[in-house]
């Protein structure tokens, strides 16, 4: 089984700054991390490879420093990684990004399964995984919480939704996006981390993947961000519970139940 | 552990490099230098386990990877409950094979990225989550007569609850106690010593001037003091707790290390 895991490097902050002109996140000088949802995609790819054999390849598009996130994926068991990086890719929206990733997936060739995190924590769009499926014209399942069965020609997954879950079966190749419930991502070992530092990560440019430059970067991005504003602050209040330990626990439980938290 | 106290062996905390280090090789070199320096001084290196939920590399894997020497009496590994069963067994197996005997068993601080041991992993049937008590029982059961197991004592927690926990930790196999760092005499620690006169107690000592970090570490507000002097505090705690060992948290290797050698005489 040949699996591609698409990952993204995102700012390590909940307080991202937005460029008022471009309406884009200012990434310069900001600490970057592997998108947390993508760690579950990586882990699932590694687990499937361990179980069924084959190869798992991490793929990312971003500036040269995005290489660090690919190395992180290698440190937890991914076999190799590829970075799409070029000025021409800059400013791509989710449609242009998924186009470029799909072109790279085609170039890698013979892929059975593409796994993405359900969304990136910076854009929060959840569009790139489905976009890749659309560009490749493959079947897709989003919000996957379990891979129940997989063979050389089909996959059965459990999809999470607000009221429960669906069981979907589809033929391969396919794209899935995964949620946190799917696994517990492993923590990189020191050996894995040191080995990942020595790996060579090829950088592919638009020509390498046969991308039409009118379909990538700003030119290829139909999205127009008209306005950005922070969400209204949440109204929170603090309540002090007093009494004996038992009384406090009873009051807390009652309050939590009233709010349908437990 | 008692001979650590009799032989005036300081327990010196050494933090392993963080997982997100951007200069890992350099950080490993610094770790290695500190480790070897503690060995050379005949003190005991105490390697933490994802302190405050911050992802770091394991002491055992660093020792293996860097091929650091292990003197059984001079290495202590902290071990918490935020591991997979496989990781836990792997750490314990490396400790056993390397001759690392001293383990400090703590519940630990979790984070989103850290897995948590499940009761079934450690053969616990009567609890909903694994704490240091279940981990102590598991290690004692699976590795009998292999390790010297210790437990942590937090005098900043509600006293009755903390003593109750300590009783269970002792019953589960802890044979020594290390307190959370102190900055002055602590009446709860005084009562701990009265309650466990036969058990070796190592007094945690806060060696950083940054007291807000201590508040974060122990989970309770420690009043700030711009004049806080760690070396004077260390001398004072030696006088206050003469029968106890000393665990140095956040010791400055550049500025403080050479100053401690003449203090415990």
Residue A160 lies in a domain: yes
Q: Which residue of B has its CA nearest to A180?
A: B112
Domain that holds residue A127: 2-215
Q: State the sign of the Cα–Cα–Cα–Cα dihedral B152, B155, B158, B162.
A: positive
Which pLDDT belongs to residue A117?
96
Residue A221 lies in a domain: no
Q: Please give the distance of CA B84 from its chain centroid, rounded to a whole number.
A: 20
Which pLDDT belongs to residue B224?
67
Residue in A68, A187, A188 closest to B114 by CB: A187
Q: Over range A132-147, report the average pLDDT.
A: 96
Residue whose C-alpha is closest to residue A172's, from A149, A146, A188, A145: A149
Residue A133 lies in a domain: yes
CATH number at residue A111: 3.40.50.620
Helix axes B59-66, A190-198, angle to 10 degrees: 50
Q: Can you list the residues of chain B whose pLDDT is less than 50?
A: none
**Chain A environment of B55 (Cβ under 8 Å):** 187
Which pLDDT belongs to residue A108?
96
| Cis before B138 (ω within 30) | no
Full-model pTM: 0.80
What whole-number distance in Å separates Cα of residue A69 and Cα of residue A71?
A: 5
pLDDT above 70 covers a percentage of chain A that reads 96
Residue A234 lies in a domain: no
For residue B116, the tally of other CB atoms under 10 A from its CB is 15
Q: Would the CB atoms of A193 and B112 count as touching at under 8 Å?
A: no
Helix or strand (DSSP H, E) at A251: helix A245-258
Q: Over range A87-113, report the average pLDDT.
A: 94
Q: Over range A44-57, report the average pLDDT.
A: 96
Q: Would the CB atoms of A187 and B113 count as touching at under 8 Å?
A: yes
- Dihedral pair phi/psi, residue A171, rounded to 5°: -80, 160
Residue pair B25/B66 in contact by the 8 Å Cβ criterion: no
- Dihedral pair phi/psi, residue A220, rounded to 5°: -95, 10
Q: Would the CB atoms of A184 and B115 count as touching at under 8 Å?
A: yes
Confidence of residue A261 (pLDDT cuts 50, 70, 90): confident
Q: Which residue of A has its CA nearest to B54?
A: A187
Cα distances (angstroms) measured from residue B25 to each of A57, A107, B13: 26, 35, 20
Total domain count for chain A?
Answer: 1
The mean pLDDT value of chain A amounts to 90
Cβ neighbours for A41, distance < 8 A, ≥ 6 positions apart? A5, A6, A7, A115, A116, A117, A177, A178
- Tell me if chain B has a CB within 8 Å of the CB of A11: no
Helix axes B24-40, B59-66, angle to 10 degrees: 90
To test the contact with chain A by mutation, choose from B61, B85, B90 the residue with the greatest count of A C-beta atoms within 10 A, namely B61
Q: If you count them, how many residues does chain A have?
A: 262
Residue A60 lies in a domain: yes
Distance from A184 to chain B by nearest Cα, in Å? 7
3-state secondary structure of B164: helix
> For residue A222, with 0-12 CB atoms within 10 Å meaning exposed, 13-18 middle and 19 or more buried, which class applies?
exposed
Residue A128 lies in a domain: yes
What whole-number distance in Å separates Cα of residue B23 and Cα of residue B29?
A: 10
- Tell me if chain B has a CB within 8 Å of the CB of A189: yes
Cα distances (angstroms) measured from residue A162 to each of A19, A116, B119: 34, 20, 29
- Tell me if chain A has a CB within 8 Å of the CB of B113: yes
Residue A74 lies in a domain: yes
Q: Which domains does chain B have, with CATH numbers?
A: 2-260 (3.20.20.220)
**Chain A environment of B19 (Cβ under 8 Å):** 187-188, 193
Cα distances (angstroms) measured from residue A66 to each of A71, A73, A76, A86, B252: 9, 11, 16, 12, 35
Judged against a pLDDT cut of 90, whether residue A103 lies above it is answered with yes
**Chain B environment of A39 (Cβ under 8 Å):** 113
- The string of pLDDT tens digits covering residues A204-254 is 999 999 999 999 998 899 988 888 777 788 777 788 888 888 899 999 998
Which pLDDT belongs to residue B6?
86
* Residue labelled with tokens 């200069």: B23
Q: Which residue of B has its CA nearest to A76?
A: B19
Residue in A36, A185, A190 closest to B57 by CB: A190
- Which tokens belong to A99? 């186009």
Which pLDDT belongs to residue A14?
63
Judged against a pLDDT cut of 80, whether residue A24 lies above it is answered with no
ipTM over 0.85: no
Q: Would the CB atoms of B65 and A194 count as touching at under 8 Å?
A: yes
Residue A70 lies in a domain: yes
Which pLDDT belongs to residue A42?
97
3-state helix, strand, coil in chain A (%, to 5): 35, 25, 40
* Of residues A49 and A231, more confidently modeled: A49
**Chain B environment of A33 (Cβ under 8 Å):** 20
Which pLDDT belongs to residue A16?
66
What whole-number distance in Å separates Cα of residue A141 and Cα of residue A176?
A: 5
- Dihedral pair phi/psi, residue B214, rounded to 5°: -65, -40
> For residue A228, with 0-12 CB atoms within 10 Å meaning exposed, 13-18 middle and 19 or more buried, which class applies?
exposed
Which pLDDT belongs to residue B247?
96
């Amino acid at each position: 089984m040949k699996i591609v895991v698409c990952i993204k490097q995102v700012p390590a902050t909940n307080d991202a700054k937005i460029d008022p002109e471009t309406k884009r996140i200012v990434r310069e000088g900001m600490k970057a991390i592997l998108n947390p949802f993508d760690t579950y995609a990586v882990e699932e790819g590694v687990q499937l490879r361990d179980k069924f054999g084959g190869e798992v390849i991490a793929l990312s598009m971003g500036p040269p420093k995005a290489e660090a996130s690919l190395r992180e994926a290698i440190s937890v068991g991914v076999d190799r990684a590829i970075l799409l990086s070029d000025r021409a890719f800059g400013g791509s929206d989710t449609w242009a990004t998924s186009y470029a990733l799909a072109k790279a997936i085609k170039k890698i060739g013979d892929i059975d399964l593409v796994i993405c995190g359900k969304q990136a924590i910076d854009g929060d769009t959840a569009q790139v995984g489905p976009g890749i499926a659309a560009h490749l014209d493959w079947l897709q399942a989003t919000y996957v919480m379990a891979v129940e069965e997989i063979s050389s020609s089909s996959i059965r997954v459990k999809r999470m939704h607000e009221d429960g879950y669906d069981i979907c079966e589809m033929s391969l190749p396919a794209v899935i996006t995964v949620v946190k419930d799917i696994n517990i991502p492993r923590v990189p070992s020191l050996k894995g981390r040191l080995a990942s530092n020595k790996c060579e990560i090829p950088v592919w440019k638009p020509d390498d993947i046969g991308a039409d430059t009118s379909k990538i970067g700003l030119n290829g991005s139909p999205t127009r961000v008209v306005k950005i504003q922070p969400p209204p602050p949440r109204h929170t209040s603090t309540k002090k519970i007093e009494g004996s330990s038992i009384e406090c626990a009873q009051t807390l439980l009652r309050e939590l139940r009233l709010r349908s938290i437990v | 552990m008692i001979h650590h106290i009799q032989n005036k062996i300081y327990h010196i905390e050494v933090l392993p490099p963080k997982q997100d280090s951007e200069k890992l090789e350099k950080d490993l070199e610094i770790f290695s230098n500190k480790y070897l320096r503690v060995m050379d001084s005949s003190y005991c290196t105490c390697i933490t386990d994802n302190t405050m939920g911050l992802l770091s590399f394991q002491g055992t894997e660093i020792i293996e990877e860097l091929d650091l020497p292990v003197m059984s009496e001079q290495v202590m590994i902290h071990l918490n409950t935020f591991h997979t069963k496989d990781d836990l067994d792997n750490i314990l197996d490396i400790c056993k094979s390397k001759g690392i005997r001293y383990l400090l068993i703590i519940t630990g601080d979790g984070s989103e990225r850290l897995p948590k041991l499940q009761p079934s992993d450690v053969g616990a049937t009567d609890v909903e989550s694994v704490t240091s008590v279940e981990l102590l029982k598991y290690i004692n059961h699976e590795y009998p007569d292999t390790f010297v197991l210790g437990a942590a004592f937090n005098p900043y927690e509600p006293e009755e609850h903390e003593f109750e926990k300590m009783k269970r930790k002792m019953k589960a196999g802890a044979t020594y106690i290390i307190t959370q760092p102190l900055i002055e005499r602590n009446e709860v620690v005084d009562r701990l010593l009265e309650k466990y006169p036969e058990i070796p107690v190592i007094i945690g000592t806060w060696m950083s001037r940054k007291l807000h970090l201590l508040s974060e570490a122990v989970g309770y507000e420690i009043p700030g003091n711009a004049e806080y002097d760690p070396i004077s505090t260390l001398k004072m705690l030696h006088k206050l707790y003469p029968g106890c060992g000393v665990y140095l948290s956040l010791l400055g290797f550049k500025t403080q290390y050479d100053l401690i050698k003449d203090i415990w005489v």
